[in-house]
Amino acid sequence: MIVVDHVTMKYPTGKKALDDVTFHINKGEFVFIVGSSGSGKTTLIKLLLKELTPTQGEITVEGKAYSKLKRREIPMLRRKLGVVFQDFRLLKDRTVFENVAFAQQVIEKPMKEIRREVPAMLTMVGLADQYKQYPRELSGGEQQRVAIARAMINRPDIILADEPTGDLDPKNSEEIMTLLEEINKKGTTVVVVTHNREIVDQMKKRVIRLKKGQIISDVKEGGYRYED
Amino acid sequence: MKISTLRYSFKQGFINIRRNLLFSLASIGTIIACLFLFGVFYSVVLNMKHEVKMIEDSLTVTVFFEKGLDEQRIMDIGNEIKAIANVDTINYVSSDVAWKNYVNDVYNGDMNYVQNIFGSDNPLEDASSYEITLKDISLQEDTVKAIKAIPNVRKVNSSEGTAKSLNSINLFVGYASLGLILILLFVSMFLISNTITIGISVRKEEIAIMKLIGAKDSFVRTPFLVEGVMIGVIGSVIPIALLYFMYDGVVDYLTEHYNVVANLIHFVSTEEVIKGITPIALLLGIGIGFFASLLTTHKHLHV
């Protein structure tokens, strides 16, 4: 499903964010990518989203090699990837419903389908009653649920979550991870970049640990505590 | 593009204008000012061209023949002149008519006075001629040459100086219009481009999210194109309307208050001015809006 093959990413400043990184993620897996600040986690997410192009190596998702993608094919690739950010990145001037519907408008879905699918998705993330509210009226955990609903509405094959619990308290963090686990159980591949030690230890999922741009461990049912 | 996307783009285009109302108004205002100036200039040019055309139409070339030609030969010369491509109309003026015209012009038509001096003689007996008008006054010199080359043509009178002046006025007006249009195009495009750039920077986060969740470039770009085109349309309709309501008033004022103007200039109608300027102004407004947005989005929308 996701193949990262000898990927190196060097920024124009000369800083090497990733150094010869190789791993495979199979369909339906739940994977944590952990590491301290500056370990290359965010660069990896940006590379997977095709926001950046690696200096060396190849990334392949569902058989599509990124180096062979034409510019006009990038939107189609991104529609297979649902993305969740630490700071939620919701549109502040739009309601919960509009934020989720926005992801479908962007891929030019008919309004009829949008009106049918968005309420179902909001029910799934537990926000059916709050569809009229604006992001500022929601708690951090609720905002992240909206972000997950937006990422999931187009039924992507993969969810990429960049520090999804970074701005949340432990209780909300746990709820968000439970939601992502449920999504994963329904068949979606989930990749979570985090440095939340408790959650990683608790969930017992595959853990890829990065340090200074290199993979230092890749453990099947790992935890944060085992890697140091 | 799907209808729902088009609806979305129009809605967002309007929202963009409203969100950056001040900048949008500045852009619209500039286009209005530019196109209104252009409209005023266009009206002046149209009236000048109209006047020049009237003068051109009244300019004639007169062809005199050698003495003692029979009627047949004069008719043949007439046919040869008609065959020249630039000749528009040809009118034979017999020596009798020429004399009558002379008497009218010089002696105020006082035939008794003239008969006292000349008797029944016609001093212009050998002055029968053809009076010719031309299709294109700028080709007068060549046409006169061609007429002079016809056998038995004695003399060709033409107003070369007037033709040359009219040509240079036409040329000047043409170049001045072109220069003005180019300057206006540049200023307007620059301002719309600024407005769109501000719109893009205000919506930077939204655009980044759009791109990351799989929006095509066209989806991101279209609302900005709609915004640019709408600014262009509003900016071109208002000066057309202003011109429509102001032109008549200005013409009435000029003809009522300045007799010289009323006697010298034959103004073209409002309908003619509006008919001429509407497609040009709309095309300029929409074109400026569209291309300014296209160039700006192309420059700023790479995520």
Please state, in angstroms and rounded to a whole number, the distance separating the CA atoms of residues B68 and A109: 92
pLDDT band at B123 (very low <50, low <70, confident <90, very high): confident
Please state, in angstroms and rounded to a whole number, the distance separating the CA atoms of residues A143 and A135: 6
Q: Which of A127, A155, A183 is the last residue of a domain?
A: A155
Give me the mean pLDDT over the A83-103 stretch. Answer: 91
Test the B interface: residue of A79, A99, A105, A148 with most B CBs within 10 Å:
A105
Domain shared by A75 and A114, yes or no: no
**Does the pLDDT of residue A228 top 50, yes or no?**
no
Test the B interface: residue of A108, A113, A148, A158 with most B CBs within 10 Å:
A108
DSSP letters spanning chain B: --HHHHHHHHHHHHHHHHHTHHHHHHHHHHHHHHHHHHHHHHHHHHHHHHHHHHHHHH--EEEEE-TT--HHHHHHHHHHHHTSTTEEEEEEE-HHHHHHHHHHHHSTT-HHHHHHHHTT--TTTT--EEEEEES-GGGHHHHHHHHHTSTTEEEEE--HHHHHHHHHHHHHHHHHHHHHHHHHHHHHHHHHHHHHHHHHHHTHHHHHHHHHTT--HHHHHHHHHHHHHHHHHHHHHHHHHHHHHHHHHHHHHHHHH-HHHHHH--PPPHHHHHHHHHHHHHHHHHHHHHHHHHHHHHHH---
B200-212 per-position pLDDT tens digit = 887 788 888 888 8
% of chain A surpassing 90 pLDDT: 68
Domain shared by A137 and A185, yes or no: no
Test the A interface: residue of B213, B219, B220, B298 with most A CBs within 10 Å:
B213
Residues of chain B with CATH 3.30.70.3040: 60-158
Domain shared by A72 and A123, yes or no: no
Residue pair B62/B292 in contact (Cβ under 8 Å)? The answer is no
Residue A132 pLDDT: 94
In a domain, A182, yes or no: yes
The model's pTM is 0.67
In a domain, A124, yes or no: yes
Give me the mean pLDDT over the B286-297 stretch. Answer: 88
A100-127 per-position pLDDT tens digit = 999 998 888 888 899 999 999 999 999 9
- Enter the tokens of residue B20: 């950056």
Rg of chain A in Å (alpha carbons): 17
More confident site: B281 or B127 = B281
DSSP letters spanning A149-213: HHHHTT--SEEEEESTTTTS-HHHHHHHHHHHHHHHHTT-EEEEEE--HHHHHHH--EEEEEETT
Nearest to B212 among A76, A83, A108 (CB): A83
| Domain spanning B60-158, CATH class | alpha beta
Domain shared by A112 and A141, yes or no: yes
Say whether A107 and B8 touch across the interface (CB within 8 A): no
In a domain, A86, yes or no: no
**Does the pLDDT of residue B161 top 80, yes or no?**
no
Rounded to the nearest angstrom, the minimum Cα separation between A109 and chain B is: 8
Say whether A83 and B211 touch across the interface (CB within 8 A): no
Residue B178 pLDDT: 78
Domain CATH number, residue A163:
3.40.50.300
**Does the pLDDT of residue B163 top 70, yes or no?**
no
Q: Which of B51-65, B206-220, B224-238 has the lowest mean pLDDT?
A: B51-65
Residue B302 pLDDT: 66
The values of phi and psi at residue A208, to 5°, are -105, 125
A79 CB neighbours in chain B (<8 A) are 213-214
ipTM score: 0.84
Domain shared by A132 and A165, yes or no: no
Residue A227 pLDDT: 46
Domain residues for the domain of A115 are: 96-155
In a domain, A7, yes or no: yes
Say whether A108 and B4 touch across the interface (CB within 8 A): yes
Say whether A72 and B206 touch across the interface (CB within 8 A): no
In a domain, A90, yes or no: no
pLDDT band at A225 (very low <50, low <70, confident <90, very high): low
Q: Which of A106, A127, A155 is the last residue of a domain?
A: A155
Residue B288 pLDDT: 86
